[in-house]
Each structure stands twice: as structure tokens, then as C-alpha cells.
Chain A
Amino acid sequence: MYDITIIGGGVCGAAIAMYLSKYEVKCCLLEKENDIAIGTTRANSGIVHAGYDPEPDTLMARLNVRGCELIEEICEKLNIPYNKCGSMVISFDAKDEAHLHKLYERGIANGVRGMELLGKDALLEREPNLAPNVTGALFAPSAAVVNPWRLCIGMAETAAKNGVDFFLNSEVTAIEKINGAFAVTAGDKVIDTKYIINAAGLYSDKIAELVGARDFEIFASKGQYFLLDKTSYGIVNTVIFQCPTEKGKGVLVSPTADGNIIVGPNAESGNERDDVSTTREGLDFVAAEAAKTTKLIDYRENIRSFAGLRANSDKPDFIIGESALCRRFINVAGIKSPGLTSSPAIGEYVIEVLEDCGLILTEKENWEYPAPHIGFAELSNEEKAKLCEENRLYGNVICRCNVITEGEILDALENSYIKPTTLDGIKRRTGSGMGRCQGGFCGVKIHEILRKYYGVPAEEILWDKDGSYIVKEKVGESND
């Protein structure tokens, strides 16, 4: 019997697992896919919002500002790509400027520190490549960019190291209430648990329905992006937002924590919950909007177009708390933007929620972060030389674009609590295949490393989700 079962291995589930792992409780996390961080978390702008967007006195406002602080600390401990580059909301006319003032006031009310309203000259001095018709900006120095899936994996690894059980390929299909507890059918297992935390993202209303507590609805809202090669790094130095419209926070142009430039997203409604296709119209819209911010985006340098789905809900705020319709069933749902930023604060807040439900939580004595993974490319020449002497496999560069070595790939396989089994699993942990060739060169090599490590036939190695085999069949077998 588990005390607590978390449903969903996205950034919220992972954060909740990490904070719960600090206490003497038996806890597990169920994820339907073959890896964590594989839904909304992986197709995210990666922006750590400062916190001037949400209306004051909402959960969103409180958790955003707190999450912004916590992420910095977590990234430092776990060596997760993070860059506190600050953000700008830019204005083009008097109406926009009025909006900047409103955001500034809201930021003050929400406790955002260090904001400044910049005039045109001060803005262009910091961001010389912006369109010449900008009139000013709201600058927020506490905003940052983070690698979203690395944040999720880092928190999940911390949870796993400190005793949380992770079950992958475990889709929840039924929940039964038995004697004041739950029996959760997940994949081929049945998990008995006293509490459930529903962090199922796009599917959280469907999970609530399993206990007869669907009192909210989730709507998938698609956003499409371009990710530009590192050669474009520096066209902007901070996260550049345009003033929000009724369609969302608007298209942003931003550096990423990994040194690329991201452009997007648009906001589409009425999507299927698993439709992450890109469309010509969507991408054209993003490019047209981004052109208002800067003319310097060279789409020949695009290395990947992708789409993500926001888990919007029919409620204005995050839905976090014990369900009114089912005791000990705690929803963490409708985590729209700024969800990624808020995630660690959500983890912290869920502890309060559980205590309010009557759970008694005692802190563990020896909780600690796992050892951070080494990124070879970040090291100095002396450190590189030393590491290669200690382990020669760091001398074998597998991913050319991002200089990811065999040492790092084996580290991800051998020293992960939640082991990657797919090419994308390796990519999410090491950054391989994320460069300009998008795995064209290293895919073959990592495929080979995976099949040797797991001792399985080549045809069984997956790119990503189930069914995403890489090679179809061995040639010439029938002739041998």
C-alpha cells in the first residue's frame, strides 16, 4: 500500500514527487509513456516567467513568483541548463505602453523584483536587433530560460534517488475506491494507495472522471515553434514578448538555455489531445508575428519545427486541491502557462494541501540531490583532459553538433534512476541529436549503443513512443 500515488510524469508530477521524497511517506508515480517528460513538458518554450502576468491574489501569481526563485536553485544543484537572461515585453504604440504599465503594477502586486520600464533608446541599447518601431519595454531581470525536460527529469531523478517508485508504461485505466483507499489499475499492475495526486496534464479531467469527480474540463491548445541553430544565438539577448492579445501571451523570440533561439508559439484551440502536428498556416503565422519583433530571423537556420499542447481548463486559475467530489483525490490540473515556472512551487504547495487533508508528514533526515551529470562540452580544457584520463569514453564524440561523448551517454544509461530506453530518452538526458543535424549522424551510433547496452535486436530500439521503431528489418537475411 502506497501512501501517495502521483499520476503523470510531467514537470508537475516530477516536482510533486521531489518534494514528497523529502518526507517519510511511501510514494509512487505512474506514467503512461515509456519515459517521463514526454507530454506537454517537452514541447514548451522553456521560459521561467518573472510573474507579472497572472492576476494578483491567484494561485498562478503566488506559485509563479515562488517557482521562479526555486528553479534557479534546483538548476544549480542538478547542473540543468538555465540562463537568467531576463525578459522584455515590448511595446509598439500608446496602447501597448499602457499595457506595460498595467503589467508593471501587477508585477509589483505579485512581488516581482527588479522590474524596469525602459524607453526606446534604453531598450535598443540592450536589444539592438529589434524592429526600429518599438517604443519601449517592461524589463524583468528575474525571468530566465530553462531546459524544460531536463528540469522535469532532474526533479524526477531526485525523487527516485530519495525513494519514490517510478512506473513507466503504466497508463491508468481504472480507479476503484476500497475501504477508504484506492486501487489504481495502471498498465499490468494494480496499485493500492491512500491518496492520489492527479497530475495527468492533458488527460487530468479523464483521470478525475475515473473517480466520478470530473468537475472541470481540459482543452488542448496547440502552439507551434521554430527552433533555430546556435548560429542564430545572440539575435536577441533576453526573452522578447510582444504585448499579449486575447489569443495568449503572443509570439516570443528568445534564447534557449541550450544556446539556440526559439520562435513561437501560436495558440490554436479545439485540438485533439495527442495532435502535435505542425501546419504550414501555423508556422507561417508564427513567422509573420515574430517578424514584428525582429527582422533578423533566418529560417534557413531552423533546425526543428514542433508543436506542443497546453492543458488549458475551463477555470481561470490553476486547479490545485482536494477534489470536492472525492476525498484524498488531489487535483493538480489545468496547469497552463506559467505552469513550467510554477512547477517546483506547485510541488511545495501540494505538501501543504496534503497536510490540510490530514496527512502527517515527517521530514527525512538524509535527503539529498543526486550527483549532477557532467556535460563534457561545458568543461575547461584542463577538466576535459582530466575527465578523458579518468574515463577514455569521454574522448569519443558521438553527437558532433553538440559535442556529446560516449561517456555522457553511458552515464545517462548507467547512472540514471529512471533509465532511458529510446533515442529521444538519451537526447532528453544528454542533449545528443538536438543540434543542426537532428540526429542524422549520431542517431545511428546511439542506436548501436542502446542495442548493445540492452542486448536487444536493432528492430526493437525505439526512437520515441511505442511504435516508433527505427529500422524495419535486417537486409539479406533470407539469402544467408
Chain B
Amino acid sequence: MKAMTKRDIVIIGAGPAGMAAAVAAYEAGVTDILLLERDCEAGGILNQCIHNGFGLHRFGEELTGPEYAGKFIEMLKNTSVTLQLGTTVLNIENKIVSAVSVENGFEQIEAKAIILAMGCRERNRGPISVPGDRGRGVFTAGAAQRYLNIEGYLVGKKVVILGSGDIGLIMARRMTLEGAKVLAVSEIMPYSNGLSRNVAQCLEDFGIPLYLSHTVTNVIGKNAVEGIVLSEVGPDMKPIPGTEKHFECDTLLLSVGLVPENELTRTAGIELDPRTRGASVGEDMQTAESGVFACGNVLHVHDLVDYVSAESERAGLNAAKYVLGGCVKDDNDAIPVKNGADISYTVPQRINVANVEKSVDIFMRVRKKMDSADIVVESDGEKIASFPRKFLAPAEMQKITLPKVLLERARGSITVYAAEREEVKE
């Protein structure tokens, strides 16, 4: 077996998160960085997202997924970061990364700091237990996207989509453009789970019906899907008998949510937050294990890649500080960030005020759709900040920027909640 190698920073995953973290860590002064990627090229899921709409916030222009990835691949070229492709990390233990590749075989790398940037995966048929036959033709939207955009094959010609997440909406348009007929998009909630712009541009522009408060109650076809049944659901989310609609189709695409891919985080014994299903981190993106950082969709599922980049740059910067000796981990002084009413999670989960320079960004998702609301930060019963929002929806991530001066007023912990405004008529 080869001798163990040593690196200052090892980053796992060269998708948008890993690349941004690598560039930022390099710019902060660390030159010995190894970026590990299991695929044969950098870019992660962006490579199959050939539609545009990426980069408006980060680059001020509208890019396709591969173009967005390309910008970071170019930036990496001007650094000393080693990008090692075709390498799968098997586990992480005591900051020793075990990995395997065709090129190097089995290898172990000891890192001063590790950045977890493994991304997320799609939820599939299992967790939502779609009943019915089990013939071919049930795909996650992302798998169908990969077959179409990378391999060049349509998985079906008559399609029903369950779930109105963004990938499902994008695939409704994409398959339509390639000659498939998308018969329906079904969403169990009374509102879409995708970005509003995607509902308009991917469904409405193509006349694809969106069935809100509907779910798939049967899949028919023993060896291959021949049809599916949609039913309306009541407020309890249970199908209402007698509302069944039958669709003849050969494919059911699932766009029913994303789950951070934290198998390696578990092998490292790092504590996960059951709300995000990602690691629990401080304002410096450091997990409960000293010197292990996390960013991007492995931490929490983002709506826009632009925010992934920003968050990952923060992780890269802080990992560099950690290696260079400028960042001391002291969770004892950190104040926990708690979820209040109608907030499903917050990241970071704790803030060490002493480490904050000017302000800290807190990301969150709300539990329900609200027109005109305030995101309120409270500590010890006292309101320390309030952020008005015209519109809130679970599909759209929210960010608040909390200045250090306000944070210094916090006692014990802070709680973030959303409160709908009473309409004041003039």
C-alpha cells in the first residue's frame, strides 16, 4: 500500500461548491489544496443543466450550467489547486481521507482541513412510497436529464411528472422541446415547489397543465409503465376517492425533493442537523469537528447556484484561516440559532460573535407561502432585528444579513421566525 500523503486542504467534490471553496482558499493564501471529484470532469450537476438562468447574482449575466461551471474551472486554472478527477472518497476518519481511483488505486490523504462539498441527490420513489406496479419508466427527473443531456436519449415519449420542483419543471420543457408529450405536472401542495419563473417559462409557455393538490395514486404497467392515476388530495394530504384522473403514458418523472448526500459526513462521525439533513455548522462553515468545513447542497439544499458559490467561498476562506492559524474553533462561546414560527431551518446553526467581522448571513427556508411578512430575529424575548419581505415561499431560500452590532445584543441564543403582516388599508 502507498504511503499516506499530506495536504493542507482536501476538498471533496468539484461541483460548484467545491470549486468555489478551492478558489477562495487559494486566494486566502493556502497553496497546497487537493480537490477530489468522482466524475471525469469538474462541474458536478451543472454539466447536465444545459438550460440558462445561472449566474445572475454571481456574474450579473445569464449563463447555462456548463458555462457557470466553466467560469470556475477557468479560475481554478490560475491557482495551484490540484484537481484530481475520477476519484471516489470512501470514508473520512480523523481527517484522513481514504479514496480510490483508476489512476492511483487506493490512497489515503491526511489533511489539515477538509471541506465537504458532496452536493445532494434526488429523493426517489421509496421515501414517498408511490404505490402501483413496478415496471420500467419511473425515473427521477435528474436521471432523465442525464440520459437526455449527456447521453442523448429520451427515456419516454408520453410523460407525467410528479412534483413541481425546479428539475421537474425544467425537464417538462426540455422533454417537450425534444418531441415528448408532457401530459401533466402534479404537485401535492397547493402551490408549486419550484421557482415562480420556472413555472411560467417551463409550463405556462408550453401549455403544460399543473395539477396542484394532486398526487400519483397508482402506477399501471407490469413490465413497463402504461399509465398513471392522479388523485386530488385534501387538506390532510390524503387522496380524495372519486377524484382519480387516468393518464396514458410511458414515463413517470419524479421531482420530489433533494437530500444532502452526507454518507461521508456520517463516516466521519460528524453531527447532522435533522432539519437540513446536513452538518450543523457555525458562522465560519465549520462543522462540529474541528477543521472540517461544509458548504453547498451537502449542507442544505439551495435554490440558486449563485448562493452555493457565495457560501462555499466563505467555507474556503475560513478553512484557509484555520490552516494558517487565524481561525480558532470555540463552540463554547457560540450562540445557537433556533427556528421560530414558520421557519423550517437556519444555516448556520450557531454563531461565534467574536469571529464575526462586520455581519453574518443567515440562510433559511420558511414553512409556508406568505404575502408580505417579516423575518424577525429575537433574543431572550427581545426583538433585535426585523427584515420585511414582500413574498415568502418554501421553494425560495431566504437570506438575512445580521450586523455584528445587533448580534452583540443577543443573550444565550437567537430565534428566527416569520410573521405574516396584517394588511393595513389606507
Q: Which residues of A contact B (CB under 8 A)?
A: 226-227, 231, 274-280, 282-283, 299-307, 381-382, 384-386, 388-389, 392-397, 400-401, 403, 405, 436-441, 443-444, 447-448, 458-459, 462-476
A43 → chain B, closest Cβ, in Å? 9
Chain A positions within 8 Å of B122 at CB level: 437, 440
> Could you show 28 A-B contacts with beta carbons less than 8 Å apart?
A276-B222, A277-B132, A280-B131, A300-B127, A302-B129, A303-B127, A305-B126, A305-B131, A381-B106, A384-B106, A385-B1, A386-B1, A388-B106, A389-B105, A395-B100, A396-B86, A405-B100, A436-B126, A440-B121, A444-B146, A444-B147, A467-B224, A471-B151, A471-B153, A471-B155, A472-B154, A474-B153, A475-B178
Which residue from chain B places its CB closest to the CB of A443 in the assembled complex?
B143
Q: Give A303 to B1 CA distance when docked, in angstroms.
A: 36
Considering only residues 113-171 of chain B, those with a C-beta below 8 Å from chain A are 121-122, 124-127, 129, 131-136, 139-140, 142-143, 146-148, 150-157
Query: Is the CB–CB distance between A472 and B155 below 8 Å?
Result: yes
A392 to B103, CA, bound (A): 7
Which of the residues B127, B136, B143 comes within 8 Å of A444, measured between beta carbons? B143
Bound Cα distance from A205 to B333, whole angstroms = 74
Interface residues of B in 332-363 (CB under 8 A from A): none
* A277 CA to B131 CA, complexed, in Å: 7
How far apart are the CA atoms of A227 and B126 in the complex, in Å? 8
B217 within 8 A of A: yes
- Distance in Å from the Cβ of A193 to the closest Cβ of chain B? 30
Please name all residues of chain B whose beta carbon is closer than 8 Å to the beta carbon of A464 when the two chains form the complex: 136, 223
Other A-B contacts than A436-B126, A475-B148, 15 sampled, CB-CB below 8 A, are A227-B126, A280-B217, A303-B124, A381-B106, A388-B106, A394-B100, A395-B101, A437-B124, A438-B126, A440-B140, A458-B153, A470-B155, A472-B155, A473-B154, A475-B152
Q: Is B250 an interface position by the 8 A CB rule? A: yes
CA–CA, A231 and B104, complex, Å: 30
- List residues of chain B with CB within 8 A of the CB of A437: 121-122, 124
Closest chain B residue to A307, Cβ basis: B134
- In the bound assembly, the distance between CA atoms of A301 and B156 in angstroms comes to 28
The one of A397, A444, A471 that contacts B100, using a Cβ cutoff of 8 Å: A397
Q: Is B38 an interface residue (CB 8 A)?
A: yes
Tell me whether A403 and B90 are in contact (CB under 8 A).
Answer: yes
Q: CB-CB < 8 A to A465: which residues of B? A: 223
Q: Which residues of A contact B132 (CB under 8 A)?
A: 277-279
Cross-chain contact A384 with B224 (CB below 8 angstroms):
no
List B contacts of A302 (CB < 8 A): 126-127, 129
Asked if B255 CB lies within 8 Å of chain A CBs, one says no
User: By CB atoms of chain B within 10 A, which of A276, A278, A447, A474 has the most?
Assistant: A278
CB-based contact A472/B250 at 8 Å: yes
In the complex, the chain A residue whose C-beta lies closest to that of B251 is A472
CB interface residues, B 255-292, toward A, < 8 Å: 263, 266
Which B residues touch A472, using CB under 8 A? 153-157, 250
Question: What is the size category of the interface that chain B forms with chain A?
Answer: 35 or more
Is A384's CB under 8 angstroms from B38's CB?
no
Give Cα distance in the complex from A444 to B151, angstroms: 8
Cβ-based interface call for B424 (8 A) = no
A467 to B222, CA, bound (A): 9
Known: A389-B105, A393-B102, A437-B121. A448 touches B151 (CB 8 A): yes
* Chain B residues within an 8 Å CB radius of A458: 151, 153
**Shortest CB–CB separation between residue B389 and chain A, in angstroms?**
29
Q: Which residues of chain A are near B2, meaning CB under 8 Å? A: 385
Which of B121, B126, B133 is in CB contact (< 8 Å) with A276?
Answer: B133
Question: Is the C-beta of B192 less than 8 angstroms from some C-beta in chain A?
Answer: no
Q: Does B98 lie at the interface of the complex (its beta carbon under 8 Å from any beta carbon of A)?
A: yes
B126, B131, B139, B179 interface centre (most CB from chain A within 10 Å): B126
Which residues from chain B contact A441 at a C-beta distance below 8 Å? Answer: 121, 143
B108 at the interface (CB under 8 A from A): yes
B218 contact set on A, CB distance < 8 A: 277
Do residues B125 and A304 form an inter-chain contact, with CB atoms below 8 A? yes
Known A-B contacts A472-B153, A475-B153; the reply to A438 vs B124 at CB < 8 A is yes
B residues in contact with A438, CB < 8 Å: 124-126
Q: How far is the CA of A458 from the CA of B155 in the complex (A)?
A: 11
Query: How many Å from the CB of A446 to the closest CB on chain B?
Result: 12
CA distance A470 to B88 in the complex (A): 26
Q: How far is the CB of A257 from chain B (nearest CB, A)?
A: 19
Cα A394 to Cα B90 with chains together (Å)? 13
Q: Which residues of A contact B222 (CB under 8 A)?
A: 274-276
Say how far A335's CB is from chain B's closest CB, in angstroms.
23
Chain A residues closer than 8 Å to B223, beta-carbon distance: 464-468
Bound CA span A464–B146, Å: 20
> When the two chains form the complex, which single residue of A301, A389, A468 contacts B224, counting CB atoms closer than 8 Å?
A468
A395-B100, A397-B38, A441-B121 known; A388 vs B105 contact (CB < 8 Å): yes
Contact A277 B156 (CB under 8 A): no
Is the CB–CB distance between A306 and B148 below 8 Å? no
A99 to B146, CA, bound (A): 55
Q: Which of B16-45 contact A (CB under 8 A)?
A: 38
Chain B 173-186, CB within 8 Å of chain A: the 1/0 string? 00000110000000
Residue of A303, A304, A386, A396 touching B102 (CB-CB under 8 A): A396
Q: A475 to B219: give the CA distance in the assembly, Å.
A: 26
Closest to A459 in B: B153
> How close is A447's CB to chain B, nearest CB, in angstroms?
8
- In this complex, the member of B106, B153, B219 whose beta carbon has the largest number of chain A beta carbons within 10 angstroms is B106
CB <8 Å contact, A400 and B131? no
* A400 CB contacts on chain B under 8 angstroms: 38, 88
Question: What residue in chain B is nearest A389 (Cβ atoms)?
Answer: B105
Q: What residues on A are CB-neighbors of B152 within 8 Å? A: 474-476
Q: Which of B1, B38, B121, B127 contacts A382 (CB 8 A)?
A: B1
Q: Could you tell me if A395 and B131 are in contact, using CB atoms closer than 8 angstroms? A: no
B133 and A397: CB pair below 8 A? Answer: no
Across the interface, name the chain A residue whose C-beta is closest to B133. Answer: A277
